């Protein structure tokens, strides 16, 4: 099968994207006007053409989902009507380094231009590649911090003997599982016995070897955390 050629975006104008988070900012128009002015000034100074404007007024930058203005801007690029996207400040794209990095990687992969004026990000320049690399490092750091916070939360819940956001197996059932394991029974055999005794899982289902093992290991970790 013949591979399709990647679209050449270099000759196409850019689309500009502006965003403010609060309804008050959207109503005043001051934040949006400032962003438009900065982008227009940069287009003159740097020699790129802006052929379309899209905005999200009163939209949070916590997630890229639900932002119709950004979606429309990207649709212009996908449809071959624009060669890239320009924003005044990088946080207009999103507050999460991972989200912004995903958009940077998409631009690099598909060959279109992404510019964030305040950060010096331009995916078509060597200096912009350095900024993209820094974003990648920030995203990895952000992911590790989030993972560490989740682990700390789970450890605290274990010490308190509380489930981690899901149904917990009754302690008497876990004790029964531990007793049967001490007698040398396999997880599969224990699952069959519990099912025959009409004992259900924490969510009311039937037992399997994996759920028996998980219930026992989870309780062991909780006990260890409580005595640590």
The confidence score (pLDDT) of residue 82 equals 96
What six digits make up the tokens of 206? 């039937």
- Tell me: do 48 and 135 sit in the same domain: yes
Last residue of a domain, one of 85, 112, 139: 139
Number of other CB atoms surrounding residue 68 within 10 Å? 12
- Within a domain: 58: yes
- Within a domain: 1: no
The confidence score (pLDDT) of residue 112 equals 95
For the entire predicted model, the pTM comes to 0.58
- Tell me: do 125 and 176 sit in the same domain: no
- Tell me: do 46 and 152 sit in the same domain: no
Count of structural domains, the chain: 2
CATH of the domain at 85: 3.40.50.1390
- Tell me: do 70 and 135 sit in the same domain: yes
SS (H, E, C) 12-23: CCEEEEEEECCH
Torsion of CA 207, 210, 211, 215, to 10 degrees: 140
- Taken as a whole, the chain contains a residue count of 228
Residue spans of the chain under pLDDT 50: 1-4, 165
Domain that holds residue 34: 14-139
Residue of 147, 145, 149, 152 lying closest to 225 (CA atoms): 152
- Tell me: do 129 and 200 sit in the same domain: no
- Within a domain: 22: yes
- Tell me: do 66 and 176 sit in the same domain: no
The position carrying tokens 């028996």 is 212
For residues 94 and 63, the answer to whether their CB atoms sit within 8 Å is: yes
């Amino acid at each position: 099968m013949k591979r399709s050629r990647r679209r050449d975006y270099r000759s196409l104008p850019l689309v500009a994207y502006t965003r403010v988070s609060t309804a008050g900012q959207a109503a005043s128009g001051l934040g949006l006007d400032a962003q438009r002015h900065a982008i227009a000034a940069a287009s003159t100074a740097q020699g790129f053409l802006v052929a379309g404007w899209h905005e999200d007024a009163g939209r949070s930058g916590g997630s890229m989902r639900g932002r119709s203005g950004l979606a429309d801007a990207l649709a212009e690029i996908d449809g071959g009507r624009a060669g890239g996207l320009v924003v005044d400040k990088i946080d207009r794209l999103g507050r999460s380094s991972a989200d912004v990095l995903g958009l940077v990687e998409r631009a690099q992969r598909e060959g279109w231009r992404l510019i964030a004026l305040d950060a010096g990000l331009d995916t078509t320049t060597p200096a912009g590649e350095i900024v993209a690399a820094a974003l990648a490092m920030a995203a990895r750091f952000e992911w590790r911090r989030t993972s560490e916070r989740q682990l700390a939360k789970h450890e605290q819940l274990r010490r308190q003997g509380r489930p981690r956001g899901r149904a917990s197996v009754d302690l008497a059932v876990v004790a029964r599982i531990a007793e049967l394991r001490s007698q040398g029974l396999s997880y599969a055999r224990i699952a069959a016995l519990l099912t025959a005794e009409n004992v259900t899982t924490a969510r009311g289902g039937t037992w399997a070897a994996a759920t028996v093992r998980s219930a026992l290991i989870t309780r062991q970790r909780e006990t260890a955390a409580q005595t640590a």
